[in-house]
């Protein structure tokens, strides 16, 4: 059976519209601040949630791993205090991101902390193991999986995921290479539940476009790298503000998985030409210091960089996205 027939043969669509609608009612407008390795901080998550969008952070950003519980408690306490003071405009839920890869030795520990603290949303990158679904569902949380193609999306849907996020061409970090115009309708063939769309979304108009295409929410990372609360080197933020889409290159040679980087940051590390010509040398860069070195020393951003024009608080970034979104009613 071809993949296409396989999608069609699922008959009843998987996923729940009610879960999508209930979640969207908790947001001031349909945006998730996506998790970014090193760059996301508890302060960024708190500001995103206070501004009414989902804020998220990779568990791996907490080092040593014991810090993860402190961060989650900090996020919960600050949002609870905010909600008490703002009963008419409560904060949005927050999410913790796990990389479900065999090389992630912390996954068991991090998942236990997330379950103990009853984190409302868990975003899993790569393959989501059943134990994660069970652990999160046991306390009433939701598990979302990011996917870069429909085949992976269908697998996650069949495994019982609550939400899917289509990471399409132009995304920062590990990116897909399929156009959102192709991937969103393919996923909607078999999926009724919450669907996010990521990749180069940096304006409120683009958030609206994601909805028009069939997604429930936009998944936005790069637009928050220049936020005051983001943990990015000043040089990184400055380069981002100066960059446009054509300054972004995509390669799998640094981390083994296709990812987007700013060309000038590769050149600063002497990797510009090597990336094109010397596979082994560049791969060594990723292996020797683990992928952390790649993300710290070579700066990732998606093709939506052109929308970032100034350093400013995350709350202002969200406010601008919302104004632009509202203007395209
Ligand atoms: C610097 C950076 C680091 C990222 N790290 C992660 C990560 O640790 N886990 C993850 O699931 N996605 C990660 N991503 C991908 C984002 O969650 C999301 O898919 C992407 O930012 C959406 O595209 P955009 O950057 O064009 O908005 C990262 C993205 C960036 C820019």
CB 45, CB 223: distance < 8 Å: no
Q: Does residue 280 form part of some domain?
A: yes
> Encoding tokens for residue 124?
């899993």
Q: At 316, give phi and psi (nearest 5°).
A: -70, -35
Residue 182 and residue 86 in one domain: yes
> Encoding tokens for residue 20?
């999508």
Distance 224 CA to ligand 1 centre (A): 10
Distance 88 CA to ligand 1 centre (A): 31
| Ligand 1, atom 13, residue with closest C-alpha | 36
pLDDT on residue 176: 96
Distance 193 CA to ligand 1 centre (A): 22
Q: Does residue 303 form part of some domain?
A: no
Residue 168 and residue 257 in one domain: no
pLDDT on residue 173: 95
Task: For residue 61, give the ligand 1 atom closest to its CA.
Answer: 8
User: What are the mean pLDDT values of the chain's consecutive 10-residue runs (329 residues total)?
Assistant: 61 92 98 97 98 98 97 98 97 96 90 97 87 94 97 94 98 96 98 98 98 98 98 96 97 87 92 65 45 81 97 98 96
* Bridging pattern class, strands 142-147 and 163-167: parallel
> Encoding tokens for residue 102?
């065999």
Residue 68 and residue 154 in one domain: yes
Residue 253 and residue 131 in one domain: no
Residue 185 and residue 269 in one domain: no
Is the CB–ligand 1 distance for residue 180 below 6 Å?
A: no
Residue 125 and residue 262 in one domain: no
Distance 111 CA to ligand 1 centre (A): 20
| Ligand 1, atom 4, residue with closest C-alpha | 36
H helices of the chain, in order, are: 3-9, 17-25, 42-50, 67-85, 107-116, 130-138, 150-159, 180-188, 204-213, 234-242, 263-268, 272-277, 279-288, 290-297, 314-327
Q: What's the DSSP call for residue 31?
A: E
Residue 319 and residue 268 in one domain: no
CB 3, CB 152: distance < 8 Å: no
Q: Does residue 32 form part of some domain?
A: yes
pLDDT on residue 288: 40
Q: Does residue 213 form part of some domain?
A: yes
* Interatomic CA distance for residues 112 and 135, integer angstroms: 8
In order of 49, 244, 314, the CA distances from 46 in angstroms are 5, 28, 10
pLDDT on residue 276: 62
Taking alpha carbons only, the member of 161, 215, 190 closest to residue 6 is 190
Q: Does residue 239 form part of some domain?
A: no
pLDDT on residue 201: 98
Residue 18 and residue 40 in one domain: yes
Residue 122 and residue 257 in one domain: no
Compute the C-alpha angle 153/302/48, nearest 5°. Answer: 80
> Encoding tokens for residue 200?
């180069």
Residue 170 and residue 91 in one domain: yes
pLDDT on residue 11: 67
Residue 125 and residue 186 in one domain: yes
CATH label of the domain that carries residue 51: 3.20.20.70
Distance 11 CA to ligand 1 centre (A): 33
Residue 317 and residue 258 in one domain: no
Q: Does residue 238 form part of some domain?
A: no
Is the CB–ligand 1 distance for residue 201 below 6 Å?
A: yes
Is the CB–ligand 1 distance for residue 125 below 6 Å?
A: yes
* Interatomic CA distance for residues 203 and 101, integer angstroms: 32
* Domain count for the chain: 2
Q: At 167, give phi and psi (nearest 5°).
A: -95, 110
Is the CB–ligand 1 distance for residue 33 below 6 Å?
A: no
Is the CB–ligand 1 distance for residue 173 below 6 Å?
A: yes
Q: Does residue 35 form part of some domain?
A: yes
Q: Give the range of the structural domain holding residue 43, as residue numbers without chain letter.
A: 3-231+309-327
Q: Which residues contact 174 (CB under 8 A, 6 or more apart)?
A: 125, 167, 255, 257, 258, 259
pLDDT on residue 8: 59
pLDDT on residue 84: 98
Q: Does residue 9 form part of some domain?
A: yes
């Amino acid at each position: 059976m071809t993949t296409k027939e396989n999608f069609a043969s699922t008959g009843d669509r998987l996923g729940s519209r009610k879960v999508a609608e209930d979640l969207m009612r908790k947001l001031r407008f349909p945006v998730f601040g996506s998790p970014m390795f090193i760059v996301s901080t508890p302060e960024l998550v708190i500001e995103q949630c206070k501004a009414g969008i989902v804020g998220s952070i990779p568990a791996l950003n907490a080092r040593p791993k014991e810090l993860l519980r402190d961060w989650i408690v900090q996020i919960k306490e600050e949002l609870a205090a905010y909600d008490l003071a703002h009963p008419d405009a409560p904060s949005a839920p927050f999410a913790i991101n796990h990389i479900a890869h065999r090389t992630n030795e912390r996954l068991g520990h991090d998942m236990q902390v997330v379950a103990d603290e009853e984190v409302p949303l868990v975003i899993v990158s790569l393959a989501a193991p059943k134990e994660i679904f069970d652990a999160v569902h046991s306390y009433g949380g939701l598990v979302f999986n990011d996917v870069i193609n429909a085949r992976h999306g269908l697998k996650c849907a069949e495994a019982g995921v609550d939400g899917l996020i289509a990471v399409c061409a132009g995304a920062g970090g590990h990116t897909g290479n399929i156009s959102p115009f192709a991937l969103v309708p393919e996923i909607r063939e078999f999926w009724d539940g919450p669907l996010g769309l990521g990749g180069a979304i940096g304006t409120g108009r683009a958030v609206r476009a994601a909805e028009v295409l069939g997604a429930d929410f936009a998944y936005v990372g790069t637009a928050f790298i220049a936020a005051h609360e983001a943990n990015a080197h000043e040089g990184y933020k400055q380069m981002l503000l100066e960059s446009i889409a054509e300054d972004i290159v995509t390669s799998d040679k640094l981390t083994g998985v296709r990812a987007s980087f700013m060309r000038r940051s590769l050149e600063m590390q002497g990797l510009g030409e090597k990336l094109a010509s010397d596979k082994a040398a560049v791969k060594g860069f990723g292996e020797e210091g683990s992928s952390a070195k790649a993300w710290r020393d070579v700066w990732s951003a998606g093709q939506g960089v052109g929308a970032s024009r100034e350093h400013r608080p995350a709350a202002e970034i969200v406010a601008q996205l919302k104004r632009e979104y509202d203007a395209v009613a």
